[in-house]
Amino acid sequence: MSEEVQVGTTRVTFHVTAFYPPMDIAEAYVDVPMYVTTGATIGNHEKGSIPAHVQKDFDKKVEHALQVFADTLKASFKEGEGNVEKH
């Protein structure tokens, strides 16, 4: 029976940019865990690759994270009267 094993993490960064004047006003990070199936092998060649994948519901987690980010950014604009401060 094959299982999924986490083998690493990569980070996806989303930038919110104002176009005039051009400047980054906010960023959101989503850490992406990478998995492989335990039945995958590279053989006896001392090198090779095994395909890695993300969790099946990863798109829902990213959608939720970005919605929270958007809501926070929107609230920051309202509280700061259009000025967003970087933290």
84 within domain boundaries:
no
pTM exceeds 0.95, yes or no: no
48 within domain boundaries:
no
87 within domain boundaries:
no
Mean pLDDT for the stretch of residues 30-34: 85
- Number of structural domains the chain divides into: 1
Q: Tell me the per-residue pLDDT of 36-82, one tens digit each, with 9 for 90 and over.
A: 887 766 666 667 777 788 888 888 888 888 888 888 878 877 766 54
User: What residue numbers bound the domain in which 22 lies?
Assistant: 4-41+53-79
Beta bridge partner(s), residue 30:
12
59 within domain boundaries:
yes
Cα→Cα distances 7→14, 19, 49, Å: 23, 38, 13
